[in-house]
């Protein structure tokens, strides 16, 4: 096998900047047929930019690409498709109201001749065959919306195989899958590998990567740090290379002493659920809620905050029973809910920072029928300097800020309502390492000032790194209540998967 | 050293940003002025006080409907019923004052109240019955209101309104029509409402991101009901002005007016996706339509061609906006 046969896709010296900020610096990468090549790096390390250059969504500023030894330009998604590159994104590209086979042949339906009707029989037959070779018993006639997220993903993979696909890129494919769905996906990946298809695999789950990966390329701050052989490395090495610093720097934990009861939830039953949830959060401690995606953590937070209805149960805020039927009630009671979806639920992106920071508490800025616009601006300027929001311009639109700064604006919104109980849902999702530390410090200062803080997080290192006590949820129930000293990854995972 | 670099950067970006911000803020105004300039060259009769006052008078009904329409569009909604609501409001006013000879003030109040009531029902249909989109609830209201306007009057027009009711539509202060003064007053009030009150901000917040607004403790349903009620109220007010101008109320009044109102709002730079749009933009949008109609009349362009022309202007205005959005996102 000579060099050009051994490598399917080769990238050399790839660089890319956005408005002067370099996000990729001279990155080299080579992908071989039949290998699972893992891309690993913190959020903001440049993984998705690299992927987007390979799929033609972005154009590189500098560097060369070779496909089977020949130089290629990938200027758009159609170029990538022609070469045989398929991408499975976190958000699936399937038409929910159509069937499996219709989706698999969407845009390139089979007809008997150019002007005849669709050959449904043939499409169904080929879909069924493909799904079977992947070891799946999914009916080609099932509607996509009737399938679970794991099965949908497999349909998407099968769809890629209807073309002459040589390289499949998977961007965090298991992040929203259950344990058994994950197993299924991983075995499918191995099956693809057997067929000689190359796979670029992005995931943060290190154990999973070691199991299926052949080689692991680690990116940090836009530069390639190393390419490791999966058989010759371990999680410690990967983390060290990925972070470039120790865990202590990543999680600035402060010691507090537990104070008075802050939020007590008693026998809360979400609408339509038979499970009762009870727990208490205190001042002077950070309470973490861990669990797998779909365990009901966000649903619990939404119910407490009055977004979704409850069937029964009581909520006490600083010892006082409080009826919460809407977010208005919750805010009045001193609650704040920093949602996981900043852009979708937290911010009004096309409004200014002062607009966003004060929107939840405009009644405090009222004088007669009118708002005191200058006071509103002054308060926002204060928050911007206190939370070190960049850029420090109240008239900037929220859309223009980075993820970390957007998160600070959301936090400022709740500081503005003088909230006393903060529920954070995935507070550092999509934020780069430096900004994460800032968010943790902010959370620490909230606790120091007497606030009650609850953090929902899927990232175990985060939960273990900053929380004082950890609740674990599984299928809508709390299955463990652990002080930090008794918690570790294994204990939490056991409780999160229902094993006792 | 680093300070110098940052100042340099700042000046550069401000300069780069200026034309873009300028265009987004004054683009419609520049369009209006250009249009006026072209028409003054093409027609000697355009740039006269008489004619300009004529344009002002002709713009008023649409301007009032458009400012009402701005609110639903700001919340990413729409109110298709304003033309029909105008009709049902003026027919009720006719029945009260002409057919039953009651006091004109009572008639005016009834007209506004019927308009507001129809709008309130639109709001209730949307928020409490949870109809999926205001396109549907107001499409229903559009037909129901028109139907009722026809039934209660036996499809016959009503003539001979008292002077007091005609005042808004006919009188002038100096050369300026009272109706146009009314428009300016109403626009100032809406401007204060949208930019200086909490509810005004809530309207932008809901249009910008409904979920975020709800989670920020905004009573979304209440705000939407206010929005549609005000839109209906403006339809009633536009009806009063219209009755004054033509000295009659007829059940097919205002047919298709909702489309001109929507056009004015969109030409004025509001986004159909909600959250973006201003009162003054809407005024300019309404004026552009009025100037265009007037100018084309002066140039003896037939009504059919006028329609096609206004259609092109709408498409062009929105296309410019799309280009602008794209350049911002880059």
- B124-139 pLDDT per residue, tens: 999 999 888 999 999 9
| CB contact (8 A) between residue A371 and residue B198 | yes
Interface contact A327-B208, CB threshold 8 A: no
Are β-strands A85-88 and B176-177 bridged in parallel, bridged antiparallel, or unpaired?
Answer: unpaired
As a whole number of Å, the CA-based R_g of chain A is 25
CA dihedral A400, A404, A410, A416 (to 10 degrees): -110
**Inter-chain CB proximity A348 and B197 less than 8 Å:** no
Tell me, what DSSP letter sits at residue A344?
A: I
Average pLDDT over residues B79-88: 98
Q: Work out the average pLDDT over B283-311.
A: 91
Assigned CATH topology for domain A250-496: Rossmann fold (3.40.50)
| Res A19: pLDDT | 67
Contact with chain B for residue A390, Cβ under 8 A: no
Q: In degrees rounded to 5, what are phi and psi of residue A239?
A: -60, -45
A345 touches chain B (CB under 8 A): yes
**A229 CB near a chain B CB, below 8 Å?**
no
Side-chain-facing half-sphere of A200: CA atoms under 13 Å: 28
The pLDDT of residue B238: 98
Are the beta carbons of A53 and A60 closer than 8 angstroms?
yes
Report in angstroms the alpha-carbon separations of A111 from A114, A116, A156.
7, 6, 22
What does the alpha-carbon distance between residue A414 and residue A486 come to, in Å, rounded to a whole number? 32
What are the CA-CA distances from residue A196 to residues A4, A135, A168, A173, A191 (Å)?
16, 17, 11, 20, 9
**Nearest-angstrom CA–CA distance, B259 and B220:** 26
H/E stretch holding A351 reads: none
Substitution target from A59, A327, A393 for chain B, most B beta carbons within 10 A? A327
- CATH fold group of domain A3-246: Rossmann fold (3.40.50)
Query: Which residues belong to CATH 3.40.50.300 in chain A?
Result: 3-246, 250-496
Q: CB distance from A355 to chain B under 8 Å?
A: yes
Mean of pLDDT values over B192-215: 96
Task: State whether residue B194 sits within 8 Å of chain A by CB.
Answer: no
Would you state the pLDDT for residue B329? 56
Decide if A307 and B212 are in contact by the 8 Å CB cutoff. Answer: no
Query: Closest chain B residue to A342 measured between Cα atoms?
Result: B212
**First-to-last C-alpha distance (Å) of chain A:** 51
pLDDT of residue A10: 95
**For residue B9, what pLDDT band results from cuts at 50, 70 and 90?**
very low
| Segments in chain A below pLDDT 50 | 1-4
Would you give the distance in Å from CA B149 to the centre of its chain? 22
Residue A437: the pLDDT is 86
Nearest C-alpha neighbor of B68 from the set B247, B254, B214, B251: B254
Interface residue B218 vs chain A (CB under 8 A)? yes
| Chain A CB within 8 Å of residue B50 CB | no
Distance from C-alpha of B123 to C-alpha of A331, rounded to nearest angstrom: 25
pLDDT, position B146: 97
pLDDT at B315 over 50: yes
Q: What are the beta bridge partners of residue A11?
A: A29, A65
Alpha-carbon Rg for chain B, nearest whole angstrom, is 21
Nearest to A347 among B201, B212, B217 (CB): B212
Is the four-CA dihedral B220, B222, B227, B232 of positive or negative sign?
positive
B198 to A331: CB separation less than 8 angstroms, yes or no = no
Chain A touched by B16 (CB under 8 Å): no
ipTM for the assembly: 0.87
Per-residue DSSP letter, B128: T
Confidence of residue B19 (pLDDT cuts 50, 70, 90): low
d(CA A440, CA A248): 12
Q: B102 is written with which tokens?
A: 């009651």
What integer pLDDT is reported at residue A390 of this predicted model?
Answer: 85
What is the structure's pLDDT at B222? 97
Q: What is the pLDDT of residues A146-160, one digit of tens each?
A: 888 888 888 988 888
Residue B100 scores a pLDDT above 70? yes
- Partner-chain residue, chosen from B198, B202, B275, that has the shortest CB–CB distance to A350: B275
| Contact criterion met (CB below 8 Å) for B177 and B57 | yes
Question: Counting Cβ atoms within 10 Å, is residue B122 exposed (0-12), middle (13-18) or buried (19+)?
Answer: buried
Question: What pLDDT does A234 receive?
Answer: 86
**What angle do helix axes B198-208 and B220-246 make, rounded to 10 degrees?**
110
For residues A411 and A420, give the distance between their C-alpha atoms in angstroms, rounded to a whole number.
12
Length of chain B: 330
Q: Which helix (H) or strand (E) holds A218?
A: strand A215-220
Among chain B residues, CA nearest to A368:
B197
CB contacts of A362 in chain B (<8 Å) are 198, 201-202
Other C-beta atoms closer than 10 Å to the C-beta of B145 total 29
Q: Are A223 and A45 in contact (CB under 8 A)?
A: no
Taking the C-alpha atoms of residue A376 and residue A413, their distance in angstroms, rounded to an integer, is: 12
Cis peptide before A27 (omega within 30 of 0): no
Residue count (chain A): 500
Q: How far is A201 from chain B (nearest CA, A)?
A: 29
What is the DSSP secondary-structure string of B272-317?
Answer: TTSS---HHHHHHHHHHHHHHHHHHHHTT--HHHHHHHHHHHHHHH
From CA A228, how far away is CA A39, in angstroms rounded?
11
pLDDT for A21 equals 73
Is the pLDDT at B30 greater than 90? The verdict is no
Give, in degrees to the nearest 5, the angle at Cα A348 between A345 and A349. Answer: 110
Q: Are A428 and A436 in contact (CB under 8 A)?
A: yes
Q: Do A347 and B275 touch (CB under 8 A)?
A: no
Q: What is the pLDDT of residue B328?
A: 60
How far apart are the C-alpha atoms of A266 and A277, rounded to whole Å?
7
Check if B270 contacts A (Cβ < 8 Å). no
User: How much is the pLDDT for B318?
Assistant: 80
Cβ contacts (< 8 Å) between B214 and chain A: which residues? 307, 327
B65 and B257 in contact (C-beta within 8 Å)?
yes
Residue of A3, A11, A160 whose CA lies nearest to A72: A11
Interface contacts A/B by beta carbons within 8 Å: 71
In angstroms, rounded to a whole number, what is the distance separating the alpha carbons of residues A239 and A45? 13
- Report DSSP state, residue A215: E
The CA-CA-CA angle for residues B105, B107, B110, to 5°, reads 110
Contacting residues of B for A365, CB less than 8 Å apart: 198
CB contact under 8 A, A331 and B196: no
pLDDT at residue B195 greater than cutoff 80: yes
Six-digit token pair at B329? 């996102």
Across the interface, which of A337, A355, A370 has its CB nearest the CB of B215?
A337
At B224-249, the pLDDT tens digits run 999 999 999 999 999 999 999 998 99
**pLDDT of B275:** 93
Task: Look at residues B262, B291, B293 and name the one whose alpha carbon lies nearest to residue B277.
Answer: B262
- Choose among A498, A464, A460: nearest CA to A483: A464
Torsion of CA B224, B225, B231, B237, to 10 degrees: -150
The SS3 call for residue A201 is: strand
Exposed, middle or buried, B175 (CB in 10 Å: 0-12/13-18/19+)? exposed
* Residues A373, B205: C-beta atoms closer than 8 Å: no
pLDDT recorded at residue A404? 85
| Out of A350, A360, A366, closest to residue B216 by CB | A360
CB of A225 within 8 A of CB of A219? yes
How many angstroms separate the CA atoms of B207 and A413, rounded? 18
Examine the pLDDT at B6 and tell me if it is beyond 80.
Answer: no
């Amino acid at each position: 096998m000579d060099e050009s046969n051994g490598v399917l896709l080769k990238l050399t010296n790839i660089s890319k900047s956005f408005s002067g900020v370099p996000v990729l610096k001279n990155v080299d990468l080579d992908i071989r047929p039949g290998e699972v090549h893992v891309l690993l790096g913190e959020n903001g390390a440049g993984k998705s930019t690299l992927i987007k250059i390979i799929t033609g969504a972005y154009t590189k500023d500098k560097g060369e690409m070779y496909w089977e030894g020949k130089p290629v330009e990938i200027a758009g998604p159609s170029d990538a498709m022609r070469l045989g590159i398929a991408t499975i994104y976190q958000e699936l590209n399937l038409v929910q109201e159509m069937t499996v086979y219709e989706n698999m042949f969407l845009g390139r339906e089979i007809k008997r001749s150019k002007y005849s009707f669709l050959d449904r029989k043939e499409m169904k037959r080929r879909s069924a065959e493909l799904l079977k070779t992947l070891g799946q018993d999914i009916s080609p006639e099932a509607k996509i919306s009737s399938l679970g997220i794991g099965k949908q993903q497999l349909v998407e993979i099968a769809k890629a195989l209807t073309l002459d696909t040589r390289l499949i890129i998977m961007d965090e494919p298991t992040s929203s899958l259950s344990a058994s769905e994950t197993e299924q996906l991983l075995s499918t990946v191995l099956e693809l590998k057997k067929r000689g298809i190359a796979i670029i695999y992005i995931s943060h789950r290190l154990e999973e990567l070691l199991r299926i990966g052949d080689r692991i390329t680690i990116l940090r701050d836009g530069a390639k740090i190393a390419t490791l052989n999966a058989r010759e490395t371990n999680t410690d090495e990967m983390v060290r290379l990925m972070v470039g610093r120790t865990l202590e720097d990543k999680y600035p934990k402060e010691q507090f002493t537990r104070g008075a009861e802050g939020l007590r939830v008693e026998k809360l039953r979400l609408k339509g659920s038979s499970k009762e949830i009870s727990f208490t959060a205190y001042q002077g401690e950070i309470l973490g809620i861990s669990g797998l995606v779909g365990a009901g953590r966000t649903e619990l937070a939404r119910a407490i905050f009055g977004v979704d209805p409850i069937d029964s149960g009581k909520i006490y805020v600083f010892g006082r029973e409080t009826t919460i039927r809407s977010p208005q009630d919750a805010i009045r009671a001193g609650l704040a809910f920093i949602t996981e979806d900043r852009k979708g639920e937290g911010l009004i992106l096309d409004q200014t920072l002062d607009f966003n920071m004060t929107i939840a508490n405009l009644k405090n800025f009222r004088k007669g029928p009118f708002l005191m616009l200058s006071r509103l601006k002054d308060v926002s300027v204060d928050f911007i300097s206190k939370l070190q929001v960049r850029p420090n311009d109240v008239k900037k639109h929220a859309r223009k800020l980075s993820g970390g700064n957007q998160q600070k604006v959301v936090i400022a919104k709740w500081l503005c309502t003088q909230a006393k109980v903060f529920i954070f849902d995935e507070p550092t999702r999509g934020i780069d390492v430096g900004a994460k530390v800032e968010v943790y410090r902010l959370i620490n200062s909230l606790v120091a000032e007497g606030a009650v803080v609850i953090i929902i997080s899927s990232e175990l290192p985060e939960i273990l790194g900053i929380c004082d006590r950890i609740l674990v949820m599984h299928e809508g129930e709390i299955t463990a209540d652990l002080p930090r000293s008794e918690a570790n990854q294994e204990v939490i995972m056991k409780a999160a998967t229902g094993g006792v | 050293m680093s300070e110098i670099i940052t100042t340099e950067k700042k000046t550069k970006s401000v300069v780069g940003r200026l034309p873009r911000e300028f265009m987004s803020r004054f683009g419609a105004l520049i369009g209006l002025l250009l249009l006026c300039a072209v028409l003054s060259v093409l027609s000697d009769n355009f740039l006269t006080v008489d004619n300009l006052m004529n344009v002002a008078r002709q713009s008023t009904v649409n301007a009032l409907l458009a400012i009402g329409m701005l609110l639903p569009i700001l919340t990413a909604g729409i109110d298709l019923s304003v033309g029909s609501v105008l009709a049902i409001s003026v027919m009720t006013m006719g029945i009260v004052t002409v057919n039953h000879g009651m006091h004109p003030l009572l008639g005016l109040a009834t007209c506004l109240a019927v308009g507001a009531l129809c709008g309130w029902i639109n709001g209730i249909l949307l928020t409490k019955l949870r109809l999926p989109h205001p396109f549907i609830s107001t499409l229903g209201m559009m037909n129901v209101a028109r139907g009722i306007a026809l039934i209660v009057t036996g499809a016959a027009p009503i003539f001979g309104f008292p002077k007091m009711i005609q005042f808004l539509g006919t009188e002038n202060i100096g050369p300026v029509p009272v109706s146009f003064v009314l428009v300016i007053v109403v626009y100032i009030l809406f401007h204060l409402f949208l930019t200086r009150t909490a509810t005004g901000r809530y309207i932008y917040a809901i249009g910008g991101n409904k979920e975020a607004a709800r989670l920020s403790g905004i009573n979304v349903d209440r705000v939407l009901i206010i929005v549609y009620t005000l839109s209906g109220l403006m339809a009633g007010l536009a009806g009063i002005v219209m009755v004054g101008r033509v000295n009659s109320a007829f059940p097919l009044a205002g047919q298709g007016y909702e489309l001109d109102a929507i056009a004015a709002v969109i030409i004025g730079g509001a986004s159909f996706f909600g959250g973006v749009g201003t009162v003054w933009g809407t005024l300019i949008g309404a004026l552009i339509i009025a100037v265009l109609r007037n100018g084309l009349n002066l140039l003896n362009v037939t009504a059919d061609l006028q329609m096609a022309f206004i259609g092109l202007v709408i498409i062009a205005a929105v296309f410019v906006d799309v280009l602008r959005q794209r350049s911002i996102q880059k």
